[in-house]
Amino acid sequence: MIKLAPSILSADFSRLAEQVSLIEQGGADYVHMDVMDGAFVPNITFGGLVVQSMAGRTSLPFDIHLMIEHPEQRLQDFITPQTEFITVHQEACTHLHRVVQQIKSLGVKAGVAINPATPVSALEYILADVDMVLVMSVNPGFGGQKFIPSAMVKISELDEIRKSEELDFVIEVDGGVSLDNARALEAVGTDILVAGSAVFKAEDVPERVRQFKKL
């Protein structure tokens, strides 16, 4: 069954813990946390302090998406007992191989994200080392944008490579995910859907999570 990682970017930040308990009630699999620095992406969100403060407030594992420059300088800030994945952007890492090893040495799983204009081939020599590939289906920085269809092609490409080379990374998709495209995303090989506005802007958040999980 496909997993769901609701992104708190679209949640009400004045009551974050309550909002996360709503997705937990609905049966979400992860909490997706979007860290933005105003440099790699035009927006600023939150850093390690907020992530640390959420540890123990939910039993869901954390899926940390770093949209920051020099992530290698900040990895430790995002380590909590609940951190399962830390994902960095291929475009933000000059020494991607080293950063991936650093993440793993901290005892968590390592993910690499690619922007809409970055080809899957840019990951050729790192795929064997990563636990997750995050395919961005919008330009990172904001919630509520329109899904860019070429992400589908990239996901099936990754799924084929994974099968032919017997690799075991999971494929996550992030941006413009809705109930309308979730099934198609699963069909091309997605393991984890990230959904921000489609979950947190719903009238009934736990019910929306259940709808995703039922697909």
Q: How many CB atoms lie within 10 A of CB 201?
A: 13
**Residue position matching structure tokens 């679209």:** 10
**Residue position matching structure tokens 């992104």:** 7
DSSP state at residue 38: S
**Active-site residue 12, yes or no?**
no
Angle between helix 205-214 and helix 16-26 axes, rounded to 10 deg: 40
Q: Could you say which of 10, 45, 83, 181 contacts ligand DX5 (CB under 6 A)?
A: 10
Q: Could you say which of 174, 177, 181, 188 contacts Zn ion (CB under 5 A)?
A: 174
63 binds Zn ion (CB under 5 A): no
34 binds Zn ion (CB under 5 A): yes
**Active-site residue 174, yes or no?**
yes
Is 128 exposed, middle or buried (CB count within 10 Å of its CB: 0-12, 13-18, 19+)? Answer: exposed
Among Zn ion, ligand DX5, none, what binds residue 154 when CB lies within 5 to 8 Å by partner kind? Answer: none
Binding site for Zn ion (CB under 5 A): 34, 65, 174
Binding site for ligand DX5 (CB under 6 A): 7, 9-10, 32, 34, 65, 138, 140-141, 143-145, 174-177, 194-198
Active site (catalytic) residues: 34, 174
